[in-house]
Each structure stands twice: as C-alpha cells, then as structure tokens.
Chains A and B, each alone.
Chain A
C-alpha cells in the first residue's frame, strides 16, 4: 500500500526546520496577540536610570534610550504586524482566489479580462503607490495601507492559483464530475479545492511574509504606530539613530523580524516540497554527473574483438538499501543482431537497458554481475569513464523523442558537436556529415530539419533525428528503449523499417526494449522475455513466439489481440489473473506461480534455469511436462 495517505502530516513533521518554524510562528502569533496580559513591563513605561541597557535578568532584551523594556515592546508591536499581514493575506486571497476560480471556469473572454486586469495591477509600483496613499490618509493608520497592499499583490495569488486550477480542471475526474451533472460550485469545492490546498498554503505563507516585510519597511519610514506605540520597523529606525551609542538595540527587532520571515518561508518551502514529492520519482541531479577517470582503465575500442558485442552476466540491479529491480539477468548480443527484450511494465526491462548505458536513476545501482562491452566489464564504471564509450561504442534511443532533444538548440548544433568530439571532424565536415545522417534516417528535407528546433518537428521526425544523433559516433551497439511506443502505428512501422535497414547496412547490434510482442516478431532475431525482474525465457524469436516454453510467454501471446487477417478472433482473450507483483514482494521461487494455471507444489522450490530452444533458456520448474497453447489460460 502506498504511504501517501499517512505521510501527509508525518512527512511535514519529519523536517525539524518545519517544526521549529511552526512553533516559532505559533509563539509570535499567540504571544504578541496576548502580549499586554503577560509581558513584564508596560510598553510605554520609562525606567529612569536604566537607559540603553544590554540584556540582563530584568530586561531580557535590554532597554531603549528611554529605559523602556525592548522585549515587552517587541511583543506588543508584534500584534499590529500580525494583524496587518493577516489583512494583506485576506484581501489578496479575497480577490485572487475567486477571480482565479471564475477565470478557470469560464475561460475565454472572462479569463482574458481578469488576466489583463491582473497584469496591469501587477505592473503598478507597489511601494510608491502605498506612499501616495499615506499622503492621503496620513501616517498613523497602517490597516488601510495593508488592505491596499493586499489588493496590489492579489495578482500574484491569482496567477499562481489560476495555473494550478486550470491544470486540475484538465484532469479527467473533473470532466467525469461535469458529466455526472454536478454543479460548478460542487465541482470546485469537491474536486478542485482539495487539489490546490498545498499551493494555497504556500501562497498564504509567502503573502504573509510580504505583508510583514512591507510593514517593517513602512514603519521604518515612520509610518504606522506612532510614539510611544512600538512597531518593529520603527524600533529599527530608532536603533539606527542610536547606532553609535547602543549597537545592541538593532539586534532584537531585526532578529525577530528575520526569524518570523524565515519561519514563514520555511513553511512555504515545506508545503511546496510536499507538492513536488507527490509527483513521483527522484530526479537526476548534478551529483549523478560526477566521477573521475581511473588511470588503468581498459580501452574498449582497442580491445580484441569479443564473440559477443554485449554480454550481461548474472546482472543484479537494485534500489540502494531496498529491493532488487533486476535479478540475475544474463543476455548476449552479437554484431549485426537484434535482441528484443520484452515484458510488461515493472518487469525490469528498462532498468536492464539503462544499466548498460550507465543511466540508472538516482538510488538505483548495479549490485553484482558484469556488463561486458566488447569483452570489457563496464559494470562499475563511473560517469567520466562511461563517457569514453558512450556515443562512440554504444548509443541510446529513448521512448519520448519530443523531450529527448535539447529544446534550446537547433538540430544542427546537437548533431555537429558529437561529430566534432567523437569523430574529430571539422565544423564544415561535421555539418555535411550531419546532413548525410539525416538523409540516411529518411528525412526528406534535411537542410530544413538541420536548422529546426526540436519543437518544430513531429514525433516521428524527432525520433529520426534522435536516431541520427545516436549514429553520429558510429556506435557498434544501439540500445533502443521503447523507441516506437509513443508513436502512431504507421510511424512505428516506418521507424522499425529504418532500424532494420541501419542494422543491415552498418552491422550494428541493436537491443530493443518493448512491451509489444509484434515489434519483437517484426525486427528481433533473439528475444528475452522478462517477468518480475528475471529473464524467464530466451531464444530465437521464431522458436519462442511460435513454441513458447514458459506459461507466461504463452499467456502473453494469448492476450495479444493481433491475430492477423487470417487469424480467427476468439470470443475472449486469454488473460492472466492479477498483476505483476511489486519488486519488494519478489521471491527466489517462481514469481509467476501465483498467476500461473499450471503451478504445483514444485513451483514453490527455488527457481532453476533450464536450457530450451536453440541455445536459449527457460525458467520454469515444470518445463518439459507442459503442453502450452496460447488459449489454455483461464480468462480473468
């Protein structure tokens, strides 16, 4: 079960800074609002003979030039600041929040109107406008100024929330609610508000901070509570005038201001972070680019030709300190051969591919086993070491062509650099070669594409460019991770044609990771079927797909509705009950047994690999006893 529900508060409290901030803010808010009841001195009480003292047991934070207790004054002053900042928050949200909801709901002209309005208000010089208002209403009253400030800052609330609300409105459950006939108010309350509360909290904290800041600034300019009434800003002003006599005086009001703002910012950070955390996996960071090249590193390109271009031996990949993601995978591929790695999601096929090119996600590591590239083990190579073989010996094509290319640079820029770096071409030669490569990957108008930015290309074109990029270093091995999954089926067929042609022309080895058995049947020579982190069946494509030896392979084939024009469409598809077990539940016995129609007691014993097909293998305890057809699997 996902920990998401439980972590809402505990996660928040896990950060000590957040707890301290919350405690501090609670102290300031409650303490200052109730200050007159408990502070040791009246804020205006002048203690003759006790002027300009530093902290002592009687005056906790010292005294000012009139002998007034600074601690008492600060606490009393806090109330006004808190109230003022709260007014700002209320006004800013009172305007910004409904405006955002209305804009998001009606869109079009309504949204254009509100957004234009927000833009204009946002561009007004806030502090100067507020000072103008001071001219009109006088120096003493802070509250009207804070109302005005709330109005001036409301566009910030509006913009952020509008973006958030629009993105939530695009979620399908909102459409579903609309189709259920819910009123728009109910949709907003029930379906949208719960999705934006974090953002609201972040904004509340930030506007609160802005409110405190502007009040401190204004009272520093002598606006707001007038003597003898204290305010934080005025106390700093007072201190600045006495700086030669009592530097200490500036410390307490400044520090209280800093701590309060700091605490509110910290809370905003924590709320914001929770937002980001909900969205998923750990991203790559700069740490992942580090590593220094060792001196005695073997050179892959100079190595004598090994029998296998790439060989994985008993590869184990796992999350650091946690479960395995790939268990004991062995694979091999020769030059000019295509290996299909096929399986459902969560079976470790992408992790296997990423381990070869050294791009496993942060926190995921190769635990044991070897990755032999042309006979040399690169399993423990760091980033800098891998850079000696990436691009030149092996290249990688990913699933999403539209985001695989750098959106900020032209295709030309992206192709020319590796041609210069890896192939040592001059700029002119590299340009010419880039054009030639684009032609080779079947781009009709290479001159134009060369000048284009990635966003100007269609998905199919972008994938061709990504393939051209992968070819710039003349690699011997190409690793393609679901290269056609994001594409339309006719574009997929074209890309598969291209990959097949490239393998034939260049004699490259191609590892193609896919969930599509048809893609394997189309392009691969060898296939490895993965299930729950293991290769459960491997061998030549025709053997495995026509005479599957593992019940999972056979069931998968039965679940595939692509029977062909001559095939008879069955009434029901073969389907495997349940789902792929999550990685932390993987066992050393057969991981498919729980879903298998043929499982017996023997399947609870440790799983063994058996030779099958021609030079292939199968991991099934009952291999040899079973007669598998694609239809003898139960439905549901």
Chain B
C-alpha cells in the first residue's frame, strides 16, 4: 500500500502451549500487517487463538516461530523489560473492565503508573491523566475516585485512558466491548471510532463478532482453530464472504431486523443442510473440514494455502 514502515508486521507467527505430548498449537503461521493509524480486526470464536495472538504481540506469551516487528524493530522475543525500550508504543485494553483495574488504587494512580515508572513528576502525570479522562468522555474528577464507583462502560473508558496516556502508536483491543450492554457497547465503539480518527494510533481489534469488527475496522482477519481462514477488506469479507467458515459465521449472527434476520437464517439453514455430507477431520487438513458445507476428500488431507480471490485472501481449496 504505502512505502512507510508498517506499524506492526506479524509474519508466520506460531504459538504453542505446553510441551512434549501435551503440546497444543494455539496459532499457526499467522501473518498480517497493520499500517500506522489503521484498524485491523481479528475475529474468531473461542479457541480460535485470537487472544493468544494479542498476548504474543504484547509479550505476554512466548512465540514459537515467526516474527513480530513493531515499527520495523523485531520484538518477537523481547522481554517485558526490554519492551520498555522497543515496544513502549504498544498498549492494551482488556475485555473484563472489572478485573483490569486494581480496586485498591484510585483511577488517577492507575493511569499515571506507566508515567511515574518513566520518571515523570506525579503532579504533571496527574494533570495529564485528567486531560486524558476528558478525552475518553469522563470528568477530570474521576481521577480521584476508585474503580468501584464506575459502571462497566465507564471502567472501559478508564482502561482506554490508561492505554492512551502514553501516546501509543498501537493499541491491542482484546474484546473491549464483549462484556458490555448494547447501549454502552455503542458508546465505547463510538469513542474508539473517534479516537481512531483524532489520534495517531492504530488498533488491533480482537472480537468474536464480525459485525462489531466491521464497524470499527479497515481490514479483518478471520481465524478458526489458530489458522487464518480469510483476510482482507472488512466490508468485502462481511458482505461477500468467500470462505465457508466466514459464511457460516455471518449467517449465524442474528440481526435485530426481522427481514435481515430471515435472510440470514435461510442462509444458515442452507449451510446446515449442506454440512450433512461431512468429511471427517483427521487433523491433517483444513481445520474447518468437519463443519464445512463444501468439503471434499482432499480437504481432510491438504491444508489449503492462503490465496488471493478477488482482492481477498482466502484459505480454502474451493472458495
């Protein structure tokens, strides 16, 4: 796209849990690039490895193979200590707004923690914290209160403020709205959309809901059992999914408009009927084979390569 240094470049990333016989590969051969200011959605169901990828990028999970480059610097195996130098521009917002804030500290203390570690004076840091709180739609006085005084949505704003306070280049958003109610979810999504425009920051937006991802993202990576199924422009992927898994995912998410939902439901049932032909998964081929509506014999034995189909990358023999 551009010839500037990508914000984040993930190449052939694999992460493995455990060792020896009990080893389990959580993600295999994941590659993607986020350009500065861009939002990449990472979508998948439980067990898809989406959060593992986020943790690997943050340095909370060991990488088995592959590389992670942040602004051109390889940070794949950097310790958290080393990352203070190499990856200080990467921040995170976690899913659970309740366990992500220390109940014993005031919001202000939580926010200024990274600054104080870097030697910023307390008063200056607190002043900055109040500024950032306003930026995320809270009052500056929020700094003096404890997390328990805030609702889930407000806590998530605080978590976003904590990420923003160090002027990051990339924020990993790990399911930031999954625990929220619809109206608060919309508030937080709007806030993130605003920030994505007003701040010079890119997002890696991890979510399980394709439509939520579509609202915020430019590109999307659809994951299943630790592998990329489909990768491309989010509108293309959602409106015309190529991969049978993406099709299943889109058809499964119910829409509140009864007309729209009727169409989705019919598409879903169509996929369910075709699924009946069933090719058994022997663990050597496409991870989606057992649930795939269009699987053929070779799907069970050959892992499909990621290939370009009308501008979108798809990992399917028959897409």
Question: Are A and B genuine complex partners?
Answer: yes
- Determine the chain A residues whose CB is within 8 A of the CB of B261 once the complex forms: 518, 521-522, 564
Q: Could you mark each residue 541-562 of chain A with 1 if its beta carbon is under 8 Å from any beta carbon of chain B, else 0? A: 1100110000000011111111
- Determine the chain A residues whose CB is within 8 A of the CB of B263 once the complex forms: 564
- Determine the chain B residues whose CB is within 8 A of the CB of A191 once the complex forms: 102, 104
Q: B254 to A493, Cβ gap below 8 A?
A: yes
A521→B255 CA distance, assembly (Å)? 7
Q: B209 to A489, Cβ gap below 8 A?
A: yes
Q: B254 to A496, Cβ gap below 8 A?
A: yes
Within 8 A of B (CB), among A401-431: none
> What total of chain B residues lie within 8 Å of the partner, measured CB to CB?
76
Q: A488 to B184, Cβ gap below 8 A?
A: no
A313→B135 CA distance, assembly (Å)? 47
| B274 located at the interface, meaning its Cβ lies under 8 Å from any Cβ of chain A in the complex | no
Q: B60 to A176, Cβ gap below 8 A?
A: no
Q: A181 to B84, Cβ gap below 8 A?
A: yes
| B265 located at the interface, meaning its Cβ lies under 8 Å from any Cβ of chain A in the complex | yes
| B80 located at the interface, meaning its Cβ lies under 8 Å from any Cβ of chain A in the complex | yes
Q: B258 to A572, Cβ gap below 8 A?
A: no
Contact of B265 among A175, A522, A557 (CB under 8 A): A522
A576→B257 CA distance, assembly (Å)? 19
| A635 located at the interface, meaning its Cβ lies under 8 Å from any Cβ of chain B in the complex | yes
A140→B214 CA distance, assembly (Å)? 78
| B22 located at the interface, meaning its Cβ lies under 8 Å from any Cβ of chain A in the complex | no
Q: B255 to A173, Cβ gap below 8 A?
A: no
Contact of B183 among A2, A496, A519, A559 (CB under 8 A): A559
**Given A562-B253, A563-B260, A1 and B190 contact (CB-CB distance below 8 Å):** no
| B2 located at the interface, meaning its Cβ lies under 8 Å from any Cβ of chain A in the complex | no
| B198 located at the interface, meaning its Cβ lies under 8 Å from any Cβ of chain A in the complex | no
Q: Could you mark each residue 187-214 of chain A with 1 if its beta carbon is under 8 Å from any beta carbon of chain B, else 0? A: 0001100110000000000000000000
Q: A517 to B182, Cβ gap below 8 A?
A: yes
- Determine the chain B residues whose CB is within 8 A of the CB of A494 once the complex forms: 272
Chain B's closest residue to A175 (CB) is: B60
**Given A344-B182, A517-B256, A546-B257, A194 and B104 contact (CB-CB distance below 8 Å):** yes
Q: A541 to B146, Cβ gap below 8 A?
A: no
Q: A497 to B272, Cβ gap below 8 A?
A: yes
- Determine the chain A residues whose CB is within 8 A of the CB of B238 once the complex forms: 565
Which residue among A182, A563, A565 has the maximum number of chain B CB atoms within 10 Å of its CB?
Answer: A565
Contact of B104 among A195, A522, A576 (CB under 8 A): A195
A557→B258 CA distance, assembly (Å)? 12
| B264 located at the interface, meaning its Cβ lies under 8 Å from any Cβ of chain A in the complex | yes
Q: A556 to B182, Cβ gap below 8 A?
A: yes
- Determine the chain A residues whose CB is within 8 A of the CB of B189 once the complex forms: 561, 573
- Determine the chain A residues whose CB is within 8 A of the CB of B256 once the complex forms: 517-518, 520-521, 545, 557, 560, 562
A560→B260 CA distance, assembly (Å)? 13
| A579 located at the interface, meaning its Cβ lies under 8 Å from any Cβ of chain B in the complex | yes
- Determine the chain A residues whose CB is within 8 A of the CB of B59 once the complex forms: 179
Q: A490 to B83, Cβ gap below 8 A?
A: no
Contact of A345 among B45, B118, B181, B264 (CB under 8 A): B181
| B282 located at the interface, meaning its Cβ lies under 8 Å from any Cβ of chain A in the complex | no
- Determine the chain A residues whose CB is within 8 A of the CB of B193 once the complex forms: 571-572
Report B294 CB to chain A, min CB distance, Å.
16
| B169 located at the interface, meaning its Cβ lies under 8 Å from any Cβ of chain A in the complex | no
| B101 located at the interface, meaning its Cβ lies under 8 Å from any Cβ of chain A in the complex | yes
- Determine the chain B residues whose CB is within 8 A of the CB of A567 once the complex forms: 255, 257, 260
Q: A489 to B45, Cβ gap below 8 A?
A: yes
| B206 located at the interface, meaning its Cβ lies under 8 Å from any Cβ of chain A in the complex | no
Report A603 CB to chain B, min CB distance, Å.
18
A555→B184 CA distance, assembly (Å)? 12
| B114 located at the interface, meaning its Cβ lies under 8 Å from any Cβ of chain A in the complex | yes
Within 8 A of B (CB), among A577-618: 577, 579-580
Report B223 CB to chain A, min CB distance, Å.
13
Report A231 CB to chain B, min CB distance, Å.
42
A173→B148 CA distance, assembly (Å)? 14
Give 9 A-B pairs besides A190-B105, A545-B256 with Cβ atoms closer than 8 angstroms. A171-B102, A181-B88, A194-B104, A492-B254, A497-B269, A522-B254, A563-B255, A565-B240, A575-B183
Within 8 A of B (CB), among A136-189: 171-173, 175-182
Chain A's closest residue to B260 (CB) is: A564
Contact of A172 among B100, B148, B153 (CB under 8 A): B100
Q: B249 to A489, Cβ gap below 8 A?
A: yes
- Determine the chain B residues whose CB is within 8 A of the CB of A521 once the complex forms: 254-258, 260-261
Q: A579 to B255, Cβ gap below 8 A?
A: no
- Determine the chain A residues whose CB is within 8 A of the CB of B190 once the complex forms: 572-573, 575, 635-636
Q: A560 to B182, Cβ gap below 8 A?
A: yes
Contact of A344 among B104, B181, B259 (CB under 8 A): B181
| A317 located at the interface, meaning its Cβ lies under 8 Å from any Cβ of chain B in the complex | no
Q: B151 to A173, Cβ gap below 8 A?
A: no
- Determine the chain B residues whose CB is within 8 A of the CB of A566 once the complex forms: 239, 260
Report A500 CB to chain B, min CB distance, Å.
9
Chain A's closest residue to B96 (CB) is: A172
Report A289 CB to chain B, min CB distance, Å.
31
Report B233 CB to chain A, min CB distance, Å.
13
